[in-house]
């Protein structure tokens, strides 16, 4: 593993400060997530050690699911047991984790305007899924797409990018990982999704039994939400497959 440095630049000082705050919170409360060292905090940039690794692929889903479950359980045990999904959560230094619902409701309404939902009935269905997802214990969302994990030659997993941190129900960030792996690399067999959920639940429940209760139906709701929320990015940033590919036969299948 070769260590260099990488600087990420932000549009405003506030965004750089928020990313640094999120990094520190994860380092304290989500210790299973290994992050590159943060070496310099500038007014509008953060400098990290550079990790020589590859981005996540479909065959990495099982260990990544276990890692997310472990990290979400750790964060709940040390801090988020005090959080409510429909309210911003104080991080202890004046910063907040945004609530789960508000920004996603705005995004779903925008998807209707952009043409990614066919009508107001479809929007209502998505908003209903969102509303019924605000019960239960709070985890966090950190945009777990394949590019936000780096795997080194020795199998170490690093988590990168702390820009988009919000509250989320257990299983929601796993659903984002599954959705974006499909959009990047193509369909994932349903038994592999089931195995990933079981691995996630087992890891989360190691911190408290109630945390391992994400059902396959609930995960399906989250996958449906992510399919709509990520629709504008199809064909960009390595997303070569649309969500519909998950529901079509793979090449060579009958």
Structure tokens at 41: 């905090």
Q: Is residue 3 part of a domain?
A: no
Domain that holds residue 61: 54-247
Write the pLDDT tens digit of every residue in 124-139: 999 999 999 998 999 9
Q: Is residue 30 part of a domain?
A: no
Q: Is residue 235 part of a domain?
A: yes
Above 80 in pLDDT, residue 3? no
Residue of 33, 46, 49, 34 whose CA lies nearest to 1: 49
Q: Which residues pair with 49 in a beta bridge?
A: 5
The answer to whether 77 and 207 have CB atoms below 8 angstroms apart is yes
60-69, 129-138, 244-253 — which one is most confidently predicted on average?
A: 60-69
Radius of gyration in angstroms for the set of CA atoms belonging to the chain, rounded to a whole number: 18
At residue 248, the pLDDT reads 42
At residue 2, the pLDDT reads 46
Q: Is residue 29 part of a domain?
A: no
Beta-sheet strand order (sheet of 149-151): 54-55, 149-151, 157-159
Q: Is residue 135 part of a domain?
A: yes
Write the pLDDT tens digit of every residue in 95-108: 889 999 999 999 99
At residue 5, the pLDDT reads 78
| Lowest-confidence region among 3-7, 50-54, 140-144 | 3-7
Please give the full DSSP string across 155-176, using - where no structure is assigned: --EEE---SS-EEEETTHHHHH
Q: Is residue 40 part of a domain?
A: no
| Number of structural domains the chain divides into | 1
**Prediction pTM value:** 0.92
Q: Is residue 161 part of a domain?
A: yes
CATH code, 142: 3.90.1200
């Amino acid at each position: 593993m070769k260590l260099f440095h990488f600087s990420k630049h932000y549009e405003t000082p506030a965004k750089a400060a928020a990313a640094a705050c999120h990094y520190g919170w994860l380092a304290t409360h989500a210790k299973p997530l290994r992050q590159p060292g943060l070496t310099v905090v500038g007014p509008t940039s953060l400098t990290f050690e550079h990790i020589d690794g590859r981005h996540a692929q479909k065959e990495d889903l099982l260990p990544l699911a276990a890692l997310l479950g472990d990290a979400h359980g750790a964060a709940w045990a040390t801090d988020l047991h005090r959080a409510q999904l429909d309210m911003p959560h104080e991080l202890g230094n004046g910063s907040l984790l945004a609530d789960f619902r508000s920004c996603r409701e705005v995004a779903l309404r925008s998807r209707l305007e952009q043409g990614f939902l066919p009508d107001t009935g479809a929007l209502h269905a998505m908003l209903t899924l969102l509303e019924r997802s605000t019960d239960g214990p709070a985890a966090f969302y950190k945009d777990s797409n394949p590019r936000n994990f780096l795997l080194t030659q020795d199998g170490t997993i690093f988590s990168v990018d702390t820009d988009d941190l919000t509250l989320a129900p257990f299983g929601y960030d796993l659903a984002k990982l599954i959705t974006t792996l499909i959009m990047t690399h193509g369909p994932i067999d349903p038994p592999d999704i089931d195995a990933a959920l079981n691995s996630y639940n087992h890891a989360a429940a190691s911190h408290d039994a109630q945390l391992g209760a994400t059902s396959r139906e609930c995960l399906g709701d989250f996958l449906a939400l992510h399919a709509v929320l990520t629709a504008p990015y199809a064909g960009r940033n390595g997303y070569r497959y649309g969500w519909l590919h998950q529901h079509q036969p793979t090449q060579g299948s009958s």
